[in-house]
Structure 1
Amino acid sequence: MSEIIDLGERERSLKSLGVVSYLLHTIVAVAAVLPGVQAGVALLLVAIILDLVKKDDAAGTWQASHFSWRIRSVLWAGGLYLLTLPLWLLFLVPGMIAWTLISIWLLYRIIRGWMNLSANRPI
């Protein structure tokens, strides 16, 4: 039998924001390996801005770790995408392989975080 947890309005709002942020991260990770998809960079910026602006609201809650997790994920993935951008531009196949590997890593972090968020657990 599963236990129903009343999170309170603040925590429900933070959890909803977390779902939106994880969804944006998912779109970015998938879009990074699809040729011609330009929404990736814009959504990456939206996701990190949302997390940075709302991070302090989560201080002291179990959700604070999710904000840090998502921010670190975006910073690492963004840095790795930028670092491997010349491979993509100069040598299509190695760039595609690099971005696919980065996206797989980012998807792992998204899935792991989203599963914990859904279970009301810190990451």
Structure 2
Amino acid sequence: MPNDIVTIEPDDSLKTWGWVSYILHLVVAVGAVLPGAQASIGLLVIALVIDLIKREDAAGTWQASHFSWRIRSVLWAGVLYVLTSWLWLLFLVPGWIAWALISLWFLYRIVKGMVRMNAGRPMDTSNVI
């Protein structure tokens, strides 16, 4: 008689949470790059909370680097947005350019992380940014 009980291994659960977080980050990143497609900052906060909570569960696994990667991506993007926000107040075009570059950088990091996670590979977290 076949066993109808489905068990989820911790690694599978972490990967599922990782995909949920990456998809939420991706929605926000695409919204930041495409004019008029702004996603809610709430999605980013939800993804960040998921990463902060589940990071401890991922300790010691190849997926731990992905949780750290996403957290650092959000924090660095936030710092860069804050540091360049004065450009919006003084000069509209340089502010737009700075934020567009930050948004593209954030999108790049999210896509890079998704590709590596799909391949079952950890992120190289030796770089600060």
TM-score (norm 1): 0.82
Partner-residue secondary structure (3-state), 1:61: coil
1:38/1:111 Cα in 2 relative to 1: closer, same or farther (>3 Å)? closer
Amino acid aligned to 2:38: V
Shift in Å at residue 115 of structure 1?
0.7
Shift in Å at residue 44 of structure 1?
2.0
Amino acid aligned to 1:78: G
Spell out structure 1 runs of 4+ moving beyond 4 A: none
Greater share of helix residues, 1 or 2? Answer: 1
1:102 is the counterpart of 2:102: yes
Identity across matched positions, percent: 62
TM-score (norm 2): 0.79
Shift in Å at residue 38 of structure 1?
5.8
Partner-residue secondary structure (3-state), 1:60: coil
Asked whether the 8 Å contact 2:77–2:102 carries over to 1, the reply is yes
Aligned equivalent of 2:12: 12
1:89/1:24 Cα in 2 relative to 1: closer, same or farther (>3 Å)? farther
Shift in Å at residue 66 of structure 1?
0.4
1:89/1:47 Cα in 2 relative to 1: closer, same or farther (>3 Å)? farther
Amino acid aligned to 1:37: Q
Question: For the residues of structure 2 that align with 1:91 and 1:35, how far apart are their CA atoms?
Answer: 21
Amino acid aligned to 2:50: L
Give structure 1 stretches of 5+ with no counterpart: 1-7
Amino acid aligned to 2:9: E
Question: For the residues of structure 1 that align with 2:37 and 2:114, how far apart are their CA atoms?
Answer: 27
Aligned equivalent of 2:83: 83
Asked whether the 8 Å contact 2:31–2:38 carries over to 1, the reply is yes
Shift in Å at residue 116 of structure 1?
0.8
Count of residue correspondences: 115
Shift in Å at residue 53 of structure 1?
0.6
